[in-house]
Structure 1
Amino acid sequence: MRYTTLKKTDFKISTIGLGTNAVGGHNLFQNLDEEEGKDFVREALQLDINFIDTADIYGLGRSEELVGEVLKEYKRDDIVVATKGGQHWFDDGSVKTDNHPEYLRQAVEKSLQRMQLDHVDLYYLHFPDGQTPLAESIGELSRLKKEGKIRAIGISNVSLEQLKEANQQQDISVLQASYNMLDRSAESDLLPYCREQQISFIPYGPLAFGLLGGGFAPDTRLDPQDWRNSIPFFQPDQFHQTLAIVEKLKEIAAEKGTTLPNLALAWLLAQDGVDSVIPGGKNKVRIRENVEASDINFSQEELARIDSLLNNRS
Structure 2
Amino acid sequence: MEQTRIGKTDLYVNRIGLGANAVGGHNLFPNLSDEIGKDVVRTALAHGINFIDTAFIYGPERSEELIGEVLKETGRRSGTVIATKAAHKFVDGQTLKDNSPAFLVESVHASLKRLQTDYIDLFYIHFPDESTPKDEAVGALHKLKAEGLIRAIGVSNFSIDQLKEANKDGYVDVLQSEYNLLRRGVEEAILPYTEEQNISFVPYFPLASGLLGGAYTKDSTFQDGRAKNPLFQGEAFLRNLGKVEQVREIAAAKQAEVAHVVLAWYLTRPSIDALIPGAKRPEQVINNLKALEVKLTPEEIGAIDRIFQA
Q: How does 1:18-97 map to 2 (within 5 A)?
A: 18-72=18-72, 73-90=74-91, 92=93, 94-97=94-97
Report the alpha carbon displacement of residue 116 of structure 1 after superposing the two structures with TM. Answer: 0.8
> Aligned ranges for residues 1-314 of structure 1 at < 5 Å?
1-72=1-72, 73-90=74-91, 92=93, 94-223=94-223, 226-312=224-310
Q: Using the alignment, how far apart are the partners of 2:164 and 2:152 within structure 1?
A: 17
Tell me the CA shift for residue 222 of structure 1.
2.5
Distance across 2 between alignment mates of 1:139 and 1:161: 17
Question: In the alignment, is the contact (CA less than 8 A) between 1:218 and 1:243 conserved in 2?
Answer: yes
Question: Gapped runs of 5+ residues in structure 1?
Answer: none
Report the Cα offset of residue 310 of structure 1: 1.2
Q: From the superposition, tell whether residues 164 and 234 of structure 1 become closer, same or farther in structure 2 (CA, over 3 Å).
A: same
How much has 1:230 moved relative to structure 2?
Answer: 4.6
User: What is the rounded CA distance, in whole Å, between the counterparts of 2:26 and 2:173 in structure 1?
Assistant: 30
Do the aligned partners of residues 117 and 231 (structure 1) sit closer, same or farther apart at CA in structure 2, a change above 3 Å counting?
A: farther
Q: What CA distance in whole angstroms lies between the structure 2 residues aligned with 1:162 and 1:15?
A: 27
Report Cα offsets for 1:124-149 as digits up to 9, x if no partner: 00000121110111111111111111
Separation in 1, partners of 2:227, 2:26: 16
**Residues 33-69 of structure 1, C-alpha deviations (whole Å, 9 max, x = no match):** 1111111111111110100000000111111111111
Comparing 164-173 and 210-219, the one that deviates more = 210-219
Which whole-Å CA distance do the structure 1 matches of 2:62 and 2:233 have between them? 30
Larger mean Cα displacement after TM superposition, 11-20 or 254-263: 254-263
Quote the RMSD (CA, aligned, Å).
1.4
- Of the structure 1 ranges 206-215 and 17-26, higher mean CA displacement relative to structure 2 is found in 206-215
- 1:153-184 deviation per Cα after TM superposition (whole angstroms, max 9, x unaligned): 00010111111100011101101111112111
Q: Are the counterparts in 2 of residues 202 and 274 from structure 1 also a CA contact under 8 Å?
A: yes
Separation in structure 1 between the aligned mates of residue 44 and residue 106 of structure 2, nearest angstrom:
30
Q: Which amino acid aligns with 1:152?
A: A
Alpha-carbon offset, residue 232 of structure 1: 2.4
8 Å contact kept, 1:180–1:206:
yes
Q: Distance in 1 between matches of 2:171 and 2:207?
A: 29
How many residues in Structure 1 have an aligned counterpart in Structure 2? 309
One-letter amino acid of the counterpart of residue 146, structure 1: A
SS in 1 for 2:75: coil
TM-score (norm 1): 0.95
Equivalent position amino acid for 1:179 in 2 = Y
Deviation at 1:297, TM superposition (A): 2.1
Find the aligned partners of 1:216 and 1:272 in 2 and give their Cα distance.
30
SS of equivalent to 1:209:
coil
Shifted more, 61-70 versus 211-220: the winner is 211-220
- From the superposition, tell whether residues 126 and 230 of structure 1 become closer, same or farther in structure 2 (CA, over 3 Å): farther
User: Aligned-pair distance for 1:90?
Assistant: 4.4
> How far apart, CA to CA, are the structure 2 residues paired with 1:100 and 1:177?
21
User: Would you say the 8 A contact 1:229–1:235 is kept in 2?
Assistant: yes
